[in-house]
Amino acid sequence: MSSQFYDVVHRRRDVRGQFTGAPVPEDVLMRVLSAAHAAPSVGLSQPWDFVVVRDPGLRGAFHDHVRHERDTFAATLDGEAAQRFARIKIDGVRESTLSVVVTYDPDRGAPAVLGRHSIADTGLYSVCLAIQNLWLAATAEQLGVGWVSFYREPFVRDLLELPARVRPVAWLCLGPVTHLEEVPDLERHNWSRRRPLGAAVHHDRWGSGEPRDRGR
């Protein structure tokens, strides 16, 4: 009975090259943002905000910045990796219909955020849970999402006039797509491979084979 749910989870891709630029109806966008807003959060602080960016000037300025950061990363790669990287499209900022920038406000619910006293990052974690809800909801709506992370946070803070305390967590490109690829781009381009689930599952303790002092 949960097949439709799992279909969404496994169909979801990180989209770069398949955006069509077709319109996103307002009611669809609101359903997607409502899903994000329904995420769990530490102390019920809901520390996220969603900046819907449609303005071509803002998206163009961000895209120029991303290209610069792409060059910065490319310069760290050696010959063969550099060649593989050159073939990889890293963003769909211009081709997608719109962007949603998801931010973190540490003052939301402060000072006594229940559950955040011992781990400061739990507020950021909550924002990411909202992002995944957004991503899956967009997939359920037959839209594509691409998370662009080739940027410097202060640039985005200035561009979108975020308050100094507010941290941009994700720049998401969103919109209709021609299709979703079955295999992630980075695997198709031989940049990296997915590992089997079994390698990621441990029982009770991390297990053997790790260089750790076991003398206790």
Nearby residues of 61 by Cβ (< 8 Å), 6 or more positions away? 159
Binding part of the chain for a copy of itself, among 19-27, 82-90, 174-182 by CB under 8 A, reads 82-90
Binding a copy of itself (rule: CB under 8 A), the pick from 35, 93, 174, 177 is 35
Q: Angle 79-86/56-74 helices, nearest 10 degrees?
A: 160
Say whether residue 31 binds a copy of itself (CB under 8 A): yes
The kind and range of the H/E element at 123 are helix 122-140
34 vs 178, beta carbon nearer a copy of itself: 34
Cα Rg of the chain, angstroms? 19
Interface of this chain with a copy of itself, residues 113 to 132, rule: CB under 8 A: 114-119, 121-122, 124-125, 128-129, 131-132
Confirm if 145 and 172 have CB atoms less than 8 A apart.
yes
The kind and range of the H/E element at 8 are helix 3-11
Binding part of the chain for a copy of itself, among 19-27, 72-80, 173-181 by CB under 8 A, reads 72-80
Say whether residue 110 binds a copy of itself (CB under 8 A): no
Per-residue binder mask for a copy of itself (CB under 8 A), 139-178, x = binder: -xx-----x-xxxxx------xxxxx-x--xx--------
Pairing of strands 167-176, 143-148: antiparallel
18 vs 46, beta carbon nearer a copy of itself: 46
Residue 118 backbone dihedrals phi, psi, to 5 degrees: -95, -20
Say whether residue 19 binds a copy of itself (CB under 8 A): no
Binding part of the chain for a copy of itself, among 17-25, 34-42, 174-182 by CB under 8 A, reads 34-42
The number of CA neighbours under 13 Å toward the Cβ of 195 is 4
Least gap, CB of 213 to a copy of itself (angstroms): 9
Say whether residue 16 binds a copy of itself (CB under 8 A): no
73 vs 179, beta carbon nearer a copy of itself: 73
Confirm if 113 and 44 have CB atoms less than 8 A apart.
no
